[in-house]
Structure 1
Amino acid sequence: MSVQDLRIGVIGVGMMGADHAERVVNRVAGARLVAVADPDTARADQLAASFDGVRSIGDPLALVADPEVDAVIIASPGFVHEEQVLACLEHGKYALCEKPLTMDSESSLRLVEAEAKGGRPLVQVGFMRRFDPEYAQLKAMLDSGQFGRTLLLHNTHRNATVPDTFRSEMIVRDSLVHEVDVARFVFGEEIVEITVLAGTPTGVAAEGVLDPQVSLFRMAGGGLVTSEVFVNCRVGYEVRCEAVAERGTVVAGQNSTGIYSTVADERGGYWGGQVPPDFRVRFARAYDLEVQAWVDASRRGEVVGPTSWDGYAATAVCTAGMESLATGLPVKVDLADRATVLGGAAR
């Protein structure tokens, strides 16, 4: 790449895509937003008009092919990711694809194979927690060796609310997928088995939705990971991780590490802080660091952060997780051999 700004197009202008567009314009160096695309052309037109020099392109694949677009942020629904990522690979353009990479392990593996066949990495997957300062520090502390071997990981993932269209399987595929990547990131190894259990659902969940859910991952090296996902907790957005090692523990995401306050009212004095309303607030810094790292790497002709293999591996775990949710039984993760798939392109 030249030293010129990376010209970025954003596909999908919902909550996440619009947030990324604003991020590129206002908080990312070395990049310039040039185009947006969405099937809702009116919304895309409105977003494009809010920034100087940004075009709205009706067809997402036309955005990918546009010669004035160097790299693409894919924030569209997961069921169109395969064709959009494939288009980026065909046109030799760097892509930052939001999770999940695709909706099932077979299509995710096809993307890994297509990228490997092309001979150079082009895809980064949007597992932003790897860029969150607290999660990154937790990983560094565990890797230092001072705590001994990591034995257990406990994850909590709560949303205030989700639409009624967010069904039980989506809790696994679209929410738990983050905990899957965290486990692989922290342990540095694959998940070989998953169990997903659902007890009594909250009364505010949509009819038929199993929420909350608790999962158990068994890691390749024998470690265990528990994850609670509760997407209608009604309080706010709470995400944290506790690692239990041989000689201590490390916690990321404790609310007490943020704003601390005291308040007095007619009941007396209380202490506390604000629970973030959604992921854009909780992980704002992580998203900034993630996109900046992607831009810098793309300008150097490299890929950093979670790869297409990481996206595939997470999807494979969630595919097994959806089977476990249906049966209540442990399910082995069916993962392709990495060395065989990637060959000389292994990374």
Structure 2
Amino acid sequence: MPDHVHDDLRVAVVGAGIMGGDHVRRLTHRVSGARVVSVVEPDADRAARAVADAPGARARGSLPEALARDDVDAVVVASPGPFHEETLLVCLEAGLPTLCEKPLTPDSHGARRVMDAEQKGARPLIQVGFMRRYDAEYRELHALVTSGDAGALLALHCAHRNCSTPPGYVESMMITDSVVHEIDAVAWLAGEPVTAVEVKKPRRNGRAPQGLHEPQLVLLTTASGVLADVEINVNSGIGYQVTTDAVLESAVASIGRTAGITQWRDGRMVTAEHTTYTTRFQAAYDAEVQQWADATRRGVVDGPTTWDGYRAAAVCVAALEAQATGRRVEVEYIDRPAFYAATDGAA
């Protein structure tokens, strides 16, 4: 990162799909102190649409091209997960603070390579986009749990429902693209790592595409014995829903229910439901990116780190084995490097 940061943080956004395009608009219209100078996207049509939302930004075919031709202070990575490792290594080589959408990498081996590269520098540079830590209700629940006012956390009931799946969706993506959020959120809420995973497969939804067995129940056990059951249901047909019920020693707390107007008419009760994560978590994404931009200007990472990304990836590896075998699988971690001990990854 240059010694002198421009008055506005100059950001390159890598990827101009749904998430990347959303981040371009967010940085342009809702985040202060930052602006998009480069959109890195090989698809010319996507790149043109994204650049149209960011006056003054340039479309580039690769991140090295953007770094060579534009003045860039920081990077937002919103490309598909399999491309993250290569992009992050370029960012680290250039010494650029980076916000990387989940997953950090698809597996823990890639995450370790990124951690190894990051530790060659003076300080952490990467924040992982676990945006639920920035959602107002998740924060309120986290505060309740950590306060101890309602006693210890005992269990969590979680639901993660999508309306439908896009072409090319495969069973492993239920873990790596969806449940990875619950994996991070459960560890964050419990204040300790997930140590074991099981996956149960109830009766198959006939709406699911051929070859996809869902919904599934993913059971996460933490170090002290907190048990979280996650219903992952990706062809529900009802919209986009993410809910959590926390069972504590002297209370039950619930978050994520649909907010907004409810109507009773024509003999029915009607309320709207979200259909995409970009609206369900818009405020959380806005808060996340604003806080990241502010922290980047101060020269720190104060959100989920590469270590948090590695930890989630390690659980995903175990969960994929459990999904394939039906067995309970223990999660294996390396020891936390001292490099990441200065931050607890809190939002």
Normalised by the length of structure 2, the TM-score is 0.94
CA spacing shift, 1:45–1:183, aligned 2, 3 Å: same
Q: SS state of the match for residue 32, structure 2?
A: coil
The alpha carbon displacement at 1:344 in A equals: 6.6
| Partner amino acid, structure 2, of 1:263 | W
Q: How many residues align?
A: 341
- The answer to whether the aligner puts 1:167 opposite 2:165 as a matched pair is no
Q: Aligned residue for 1:230?
A: 233
Q: Aligned residue for 1:299?
A: 297
CA spacing shift, 1:98–1:64, aligned 2, 3 Å: farther
Q: Aligned residue for 2:261?
A: 260
CA spacing shift, 1:152–1:44, aligned 2, 3 Å: same
- Structure 1 residue aligned with 2:196, among 177, 187, 193? 193
- The answer to whether the aligner puts 1:313 opposite 2:311 as a matched pair is yes
- 1:13-71 CA distance string (max 9 Å, x none): 00000000000000000001111011212321332134310100111332245551111
Structure 2 residues not aligned, in runs of 5+: none
Q: Which stretch has the larger CA shift, 204-213 or 291-300?
A: 204-213
CA–CA distance in structure 1, aligned partners of residues 311 and 46 of structure 2: 33
The 8 Å contact of residues 24 and 54 in structure 2, kept in 1 or not, is answered as no
Q: SS state of the match for residue 230, structure 2?
A: strand
| Partner amino acid, structure 1, of 2:104 | L
CA spacing shift, 1:346–1:53, aligned 2, 3 Å: closer
Q: SS state of the match for residue 296, structure 1?
A: helix
- The answer to whether the aligner puts 1:143 opposite 2:146 as a matched pair is yes
| Partner amino acid, structure 2, of 1:212 | P
- Structure 2 residue aligned with 1:271, among 249, 269, 272? 269
CA spacing shift, 1:52–1:34, aligned 2, 3 Å: same
Q: Aligned residue for 2:102?
A: 99
| Partner amino acid, structure 2, of 1:76 | S
- Structure 2 residue aligned with 1:211, among 209, 214, 237? 214
The 8 Å contact of residues 25 and 53 in structure 2, kept in 1 or not, is answered as no
| Partner amino acid, structure 1, of 2:288 | E
- The answer to whether the aligner puts 1:123 opposite 2:126 as a matched pair is yes
| Partner amino acid, structure 2, of 1:142 | V
Q: Aligned residue for 2:332?
A: 334
Give percent identity, aligned residues only.
44
| Partner amino acid, structure 2, of 1:280 | T
The alpha carbon displacement at 1:328 in A equals: 0.3
CA–CA distance in structure 2, aligned partners of residues 118 and 50 of structure 1: 34
CA–CA distance in structure 2, aligned partners of residues 201 and 275 of structure 1: 24
Q: Aligned residue for 1:251?
A: 254
Q: SS state of the match for residue 173, structure 1?
A: helix
| Partner amino acid, structure 2, of 1:261 | T
What's the C-alpha RMSD, in Å, of the aligned pairs? 1.6
The 8 Å contact of residues 339 and 346 in structure 1, kept in 2 or not, is answered as no
Normalised by the length of structure 1, the TM-score is 0.94
| Partner amino acid, structure 1, of 2:289 | V
Q: SS state of the match for residue 119, structure 2?
A: helix
- How do 1:2-41 residues align onto structure 2 when only pairs under 5 Å count? 2=5, 4-41=7-44
Structure 1 residues not aligned, in runs of 5+: none
- 1:294-321 CA distance string (max 9 Å, x none): 0000000011211111111001101110
- 1:77-119 CA distance string (max 9 Å, x none): 1111001111111111111101111111100111122212212
The 8 Å contact of residues 37 and 70 in structure 2, kept in 1 or not, is answered as no
The 8 Å contact of residues 75 and 98 in structure 2, kept in 1 or not, is answered as yes
